[in-house]
Amino acid sequence: MHARLLVGLMAACTPAALGQNLIVNGSFEDIAVAPNGGWTTFGLGWDAVAGWHAVGQLDAMGTFLTPFDGVVTIDLNGGSPARIEQVVPTVPGRRYTVSFALSANMQGPAGPREMRVVAPGVSHNYVFDPIAEGATLLQPKWKTISVGFTAADAASLIAFEGVNAGAYGAAIDDVHMIDAGLPGCNEADLVEPFTVLNFFDVAAYVSMFNAQDARADMAAPIGVLNFFDVAAFLNAFSAGCP
């Protein structure tokens, strides 16, 4: 039954790239002074990266650390733990998913790098250990992290903070934020009546997928609708509501 439904959904859904990312300048490419092969230190009153506000001192790193996307990444510890943040328009009551790539500035002493992602009602710490991951400057072994939240206001603050002491901190790149829809019992509970999974949720998912709606993007890679998103929807649908 599950396999037949998957085949039917794939026939109804046409794979397509998603629309606009809600984050401005999510890969940090729009910057006042390009770091090129080195780095640009900013913050302390100078918001050098368009769309973002810096609290403390950060480093925009060039290609000496292979970026996840584009040619710029952000070290969250320019000299000590710092913070980069952006206020994003949201709709109260809707769910959103924030995703980003995580690695580390490995020029400094060996050891894990820790950072924190903050969103409304959310504060999660993540650790990237270059030694455990087998990461190098040329092969940073970027990891994709996703967190979800429900908006309470018409604007939501999204922030990334360094946690470990000193310079050479966690590195981030390719920040995305997508509208994940109205709250239901799980990701497949897309339309009313909520807490009940039925044909209307399946029909809504097919419609969202074909319309390139960000709410249909339920699995990595974020930003592209494909088989994995359909499979994630089916898994949530099969799990049912508690």
Q: Cα(7)–Cα(121) distance, rounded to whole angstroms?
A: 38
Over residues 174-200, the pLDDT tens digits come to 999 998 776 677 888 888 787 889 999
Helices 227-239 and 2-12 meet at what angle, rounded to 10?
Answer: 140
Other beta carbons within 10 Å of 76: 26
Architecture of domain 39-180: Sandwich (2.60)
pTM: 0.70
Domain boundaries, the chain: 39-180, 184-239
Q: Which of 1-15, 117-131, 197-211 has the lowest mean pLDDT?
A: 1-15
Over residues 111-139, the pLDDT tens digits come to 999 999 999 989 999 999 999 999 999 99
Q: For residue 183, which of 113, 241, 111, 109 has the smallest C-alpha distance?
A: 241
